[in-house]
Amino acid sequence: MSKLVKNLLAKDLSNKLDGVEDCVLANVIGMDANSTSALRKRLRQKGIGMMVVKNSLAQRATEGTSLAPAFEGISGTHAVLWGAEDFVSLVKEATDLNKDEESFEVFETRGGAMDGVQLTPERVLEISKWPSRAEQLSMLVGQIVGPGSQLAAQLIGPGGALASQVKSKSEE
């Protein structure tokens, strides 16, 4: 492949990954067409993009971006996964796919990049145990609402007891 073609492909890949700051790398080489189609459909439903790229081309395309560390020290061809509601949701989905040996036996997470730092497969597995954005928001709302509901119960409790005593006296 000529240098001109490589530069054009790198520019096109760079344009596709424009605005992407975090990614997960996975191995999908060896999957049959039906499994690949099912994998892409499942990822699309969750708002996750996937592109299989040659690493040398990806290194050229992501040079100077926060994705560049993901491609350092690796060779061959990998799938780049990006998107989802947040990065933790992306990592959780990739880890679930890694565990789904029945449908996607070849799929294997190989690392990635988060905030401009290279991730190892072990680190990706560790991040998958973090709470997602939605889980964090629900915990925060619970912490905010908790004291308020406890205060309301404490204010209503004695008033309810007093009201029931007044009612019983009025019935006598």
Same domain? 88 vs 32: yes
Strand ranges in the chain using DSSP code E only, listed in sequence order: 23-27, 48-54, 77-83, 108-114, 117-119
Q: How many domains are there within the chain?
A: 2
> How far, CA to CA in Å, does 111 sit from each of 126, 155, 159, 163?
11, 53, 59, 63
pLDDT score, position 143? 86
Q: Which two tokens stand for residue 9?
A: 């492909």
Domain that holds residue 87: 3-130
- Look over the chain and give the mean of its residue pLDDT values, rounded to a whole number: 87
Q: How many CA atoms lie within 13 A of 11 on its CB side?
A: 6
24 and 98 both lie in a single domain: yes
Q: Are residues 45 and 101 in the same domain?
A: yes
Instruction: Tell me phi and psi for residue 26, to 5 degrees.
Output: -140, 160
Q: What predicted TM-score, i.e. pTM, was given to this entire model?
A: 0.76
Domain check: are 148 and 125 in the same one? no
Task: Tell me, yes or no, whether 66 and 22 share the same domain.
Answer: yes
Q: Are residues 100 and 62 in the same domain?
A: yes
Q: How is 140-156 classified by DSSP, letter by letter?
A: HHHHHHHHHHHHHHHHH
Q: Using one digit for the tens of pLDDT, what is the confidence trace for 86-121?
A: 899 999 999 999 888 777 888 999 999 999 899 999
Strands 77-83 and 23-27: antiparallel
- Please, are residues 62 and 10 in contact by the beta-carbon 8 Å criterion? no
Q: What is the pLDDT of residue 88?
A: 92
Residues 1-27 have a mean pLDDT of 88
- 119, 141: one domain: no
102 and 144 part of one domain: no
Is-contact 23 112, C-beta < 8 A? Answer: yes
Do 157 and 105 belong to one domain?
no
- As a whole number, mean pLDDT of residues 37-57 equals 92
Inform me whether the pLDDT recorded for 6 exceeds 90: no
Element (H or E) spanning 127, and its range? helix 121-127
